[in-house]
Structure 1
Amino acid sequence: MTNIKKMLGAGLAVATLFGFAACGSSTNSDKKATESGPVQLTVWSASEDQKAGGWVDTVEKEFQKANPNVKFKNTVVEPPKAAESVKKDAKAAADVYLFPNDQLGDLVKAGAIGQLSDDAVKQVKEQNEDTLVNSVTAQDGNMYGVPYTGNTWFMYYNKSKFAADDVKSLDKMLEKGKVAFDLSNAWYLPGFYLDGNMTLFGEKGTDAKAGMKLGDKAAEVTKYIAKLFANKNFVLDGNSAGLNGLKSGKVDAYFSGSWDAADVKKTLGDNYAAAALPTFKTESGEHQMKSFAGSKAVAYNPNSKHPEMAAKFAAFLGSKKSQQIAYEKQGVIPSDKSLADSVKSDPAAVAQMETIAKTSVLQPAIPEMGSFWEPMGNFGKAIANHEVTEANADAKTADFAKGLAGAVK
């Protein structure tokens, strides 16, 4: 991995040029010299980012003010497709691209993502909550990628049905209104188990040998979930049932992410509200619902013809100024903690930032995490289909825990 040792930090002048980590002095000198000549950087991002006046287009023009020798070539590759596209031919891939952090392990393994410099590491740590810092930290302990937004789920609700104190407790909410949750979705269902001593690949989520452990409170959590179906105010979400129910008035709250914010705001109008996750109570006491969290980040390609300038632009695209532009232009919720006040009138932005800070767990990004989704999804479907009940929860949960533990070979 190329490690640029003098890269632009959040508060440094954009015009500063960077040096390389020691890997052959003559090669470094040659690369430094070429950066003063014409440089073309290919950038992969979503189509909306690249349109005239869009986020990436605007930031590129800002970058060129201090780096007039840089030209940009924008190509539409949506962030979720980044790893798949980069791995096909890392040397022919973009110089800079956007990616969701759950692809980090595969990108590092493919040698297709550049390690951050000391200055960039400092920038990332200053800007982000620990969860997001860890989201771009690989198994080798090094950091790759500059987060520009978080990725998690939280709760939307109709504030004419629930007071601010009500939404702190799922049980209280279920006494007062209709609440939808997608139990058969493997990304959402762990929200009930993650506060019951469930661990995935060790404390930091990077130790494959530690495996996946459901936790000693899992059976009572399963009983709680199974009992939800006996509550007339519980609605099983799935296939947009929660959002559609909100639109029809049959649902008063549901769980989703920032991608639904515009629809929910349009639907609820003055009653639009969002919040971090509530607690729920089992036989052993109160538990905090916790969502998986991660980030979307900017990466540079170490195989670039201009890795120094690519790293410099990647840091700039993930900077505070750039995140502010992304929010103003396209409503992309920033990950930068210092921008919290600037989005405090946006319920979804506040809910996402609070969820990441207080009611989330980092989603592991190592390749072995791929073994988690199918068994978790199948268990959720079994609960939703009433194959797992309050009566058989102990046995079914024990079987599930055993299967999950053995899923990683």
Structure 2
Amino acid sequence: MKKNRKKWKKLLSSGVVLSAAALLLAACGNSSSKEETKTTKSSESTKVTGDIKLWVDTEQVDMFKKIVTDFEKKYPDVKVEVTAGSSADAKTDVSKDPSAAGDVFMMPHDQVGQMADAGLLYPFTETKFAKTVKKENVASAIEGATWKKELYGFPYGVESQVLYYNKSKLSADDVKTWKDLTSKGKLGTNFGDASANYIFGPLFMSNGDLLYGENGEDVKGTNFNNEKGVEVLKWIASQKSNSGVIQSSTEALANLTSGTTDAFLSGPWSKNDVKKALGDNMAVAAYPTVDFGSGETPMKAFLGVKLFAVNQQTKSPLAALTLASYLSNESSQLKEFEEIGTVPSNKSLQENEKVTSDEVAKAVMQMSDTDHSVVMPKLPEMTSFWPAMDALINDTYKGNIKENQYQDKLDKLVSDMSKTTE
């Protein structure tokens, strides 16, 4: 259950150092790629040709081979080799040897900042492809694909945690607020162990604070060390005595299956497991509202954006951009939704009956708006956020941090978050 959830922060929390080849690209890659982008822009009406390597997640190779077959029929002068890889490891794998890496590859959006600054990604802001991306996809997906006002990725899906619950125990009205949810049922969730940061870090933004500024790119833009931040910590501490909250980490699904809990917070990756556990009693909703002391406000989650990106060192930029655009267009996103459950970022598809009739997709789409989620920042300094936030949430919940220490702990958190860790 945790494997897919951790993809979004796997490399950020590992503090991987880019290879020498990638660092060399950082010095000259951005300027050269911009020149190539201009060339691509002027060549967009030319014939699309080239041999392209496409890297996709291992379990999705067969599906993407079918989409590539359709692409090659439309562009017979482009030959695509589909290779198995890991989108979560895109930064590591591409930086090892960019010239040997895929021309087009999957990646989570939170790696865009580091990879773009290292000269590993092909910017295409000034091309027709950018116009299509901006026209067809939801705003949060475009934000995830953008770094320093340059567009570096083709969104093909969005991902957020949602609330799964047993509808034989709880009604749709019962799960609208945290208070009702935990007074009328038992919620299994993780305040006390690793990964509490991913689930509950966004509480600070729920209460009006900012994580790395308005757009997630300002190193000194975090303001958790204010009264709103203190309110969040008080709320977290109060959950230890909330009888409706059952500390659940690795055992969350087992507790739901046994009836120890009636609900838990997870993402679309848990859909099949929850369906197996609850059968026809499975229900899904957006996060409940929470009250930190000033009234109910939507509880936010981190939003992840799934991207296809183009290698800055590709020898066939037009063909690579064309393929990335095709893999993320409305038709392809529909196939990806139908076969592997990826919730589309395409605006039209988000209104398609096939998508809206899926309760998990519907909840994720609701969570993808700005009231319910915050696009996970792409700054390298996020490597400092994860361990510091875990420690703060864990120790606050367990009572290891006293209320008169909250302000000092938040001051240190904000200071630490402006640095990167190795």
List alignment gaps of at least 5 residues for structure 2. 1-29
Aligned-partner Cα distance in 2 for 1:210–1:226:
25
Q: Tell me if the contact between 1:264 and 1:272 (Cα under 8 Å) persists in the aligned partners.
A: yes
Residue 403 (str. 1) matches residue 412 (str. 2): yes
Cα distance change on mapping 1:214 and 1:124 into 2, 3 Å: farther
**Equivalence for 2:307:** 297
RMSD of aligned Cα (Å): 2.2
Residue 265 (str. 1) matches residue 275 (str. 2): yes
Q: Which residues of 2 match residues 47-196 of structure 1 at below 5 A?
A: 47-51=58-62, 54=63, 56-116=64-124, 117-138=126-147, 140-183=148-191, 184=193, 185-196=196-207
**Equivalence for 1:25:** none
What secondary structure does 2:302 align onto? strand
What secondary structure does 1:251 align onto? coil
Residue 338 (str. 1) matches residue 342 (str. 2): no
Once the two structures are TM-superposed, the CA of residue 242 in structure 1 deviates from its matched residue by 1.8
Once the two structures are TM-superposed, the CA of residue 214 in structure 1 deviates from its matched residue by 4.1
- TM norm structure 1: 0.87
Aligned-partner Cα distance in 2 for 1:223–1:94:
48
Aligned-partner Cα distance in 1 for 2:102–2:280:
43
Aligned residue pairs total 380
**Counterpart amino acid of residue 85 in structure 2:** V
Q: Tell me if the contact between 2:239 and 2:397 (Cα under 8 Å) persists in the aligned partners.
A: no
Cα distance change on mapping 1:122 and 1:279 into 2, 3 Å: same
Q: Tell me if the contact between 2:309 and 2:324 (Cα under 8 Å) persists in the aligned partners.
A: yes
Once the two structures are TM-superposed, the CA of residue 215 in structure 1 deviates from its matched residue by 4.0
2:224 aligns with one of 207, 213, 237: 213
**Equivalence for 1:350:** 362
Cα distance change on mapping 1:59 and 1:4 into 2, 3 Å: farther
- TM norm structure 2: 0.85
**Equivalence for 1:244:** 254
Once the two structures are TM-superposed, the CA of residue 197 in structure 1 deviates from its matched residue by 2.6
Q: Tell me if the contact between 1:4 and 1:311 (Cα under 8 Å) persists in the aligned partners.
A: no
Instruction: Summarize deviations over 1:43-83 as a string: whole Å, max 9, x none.
Output: 111122212xx1x1111011111111222212211100111
What secondary structure does 1:260 align onto? helix
**Equivalence for 2:237:** 226
**Counterpart amino acid of residue 356 in structure 1:** S
2:373 aligns with one of 345, 355, 360: 360
Instruction: Summarize deviations over 1:268-315 as a string: whole Å, max 9, x none.
Output: 111111111111123322232100112010011121111110011001
Aligned-partner Cα distance in 1 for 2:132–2:167:
38
**Counterpart amino acid of residue 208 in structure 2:** N
Q: Tell me if the contact between 2:114 and 2:379 (Cα under 8 Å) persists in the aligned partners.
A: yes
Q: Tell me if the contact between 2:204 and 2:224 (Cα under 8 Å) persists in the aligned partners.
A: no
Aligned-partner Cα distance in 2 for 1:62–1:3:
30
